[in-house]
Amino acid sequence: MEKSTKTAVLYNASCPVCNFEIQHYAQYADENGLPIRFDDLNAEIGHEWGLDADMAARRLYVLQDGKLASGIPAFLLLWAQMPKYRWLAKIVGLPVIRQIASAIYDFILAPLIYHWHLRRLRKQNAHRSHH
């Protein structure tokens, strides 16, 4: 990764929900010349992050200043880099809200999205084995 001012995001582009959200951020970052890189974990770059594909598919990861964050802390880092979303980072970063958001992400959203990911993989593998 380049200079420490660069922020990198690792996400699952094969996940419709993840891809929709991250493509929105990527377009915003591109239009505003923000130094944020978006890496699709399916492009065999997970090893650059020190994560295997399964671990990478479980949550959003952000690398900034050599530090890896995941889940809500990763979203907070990402949002803080984008002027349009700094207000969201400030609100979600408040102690009680951060705890609630982290619990919802960690125990409901991330596991649900990961379950959908595993189901898509099973369907893809079943489809391939029939050919």
Tell me which residue range forms the domain holding 80.
7-129
In the block, tokens 């803080």 appear at 80
* Dihedral sign from CA coordinates of 18, 7, 40, 108: negative
Instruction: Give the count of domains, the chain.
Output: 1
Q: Distance from CA of residue 76 to its chain's centroid?
A: 11
Q: Residue 37 — φ and ψ, nearest 5°?
A: -105, 140
Domain assignment of residue 95, yes or no = yes
User: Model pTM?
Assistant: 0.88
pLDDT per residue as tens, the chain (131 positions): 344 458 999 999 988 989 999 999 999 999 999 999 999 988 877 678 888 888 999 999 999 988 999 999 999 999 999 999 999 999 999 999 999 999 999 999 999 999 999 998 898 888 777 66
CA triple 17-79-95, angle to 5 deg: 105
Domain assignment of residue 105, yes or no = yes
Domain assignment of residue 1, yes or no = no
Domain assignment of residue 73, yes or no = yes
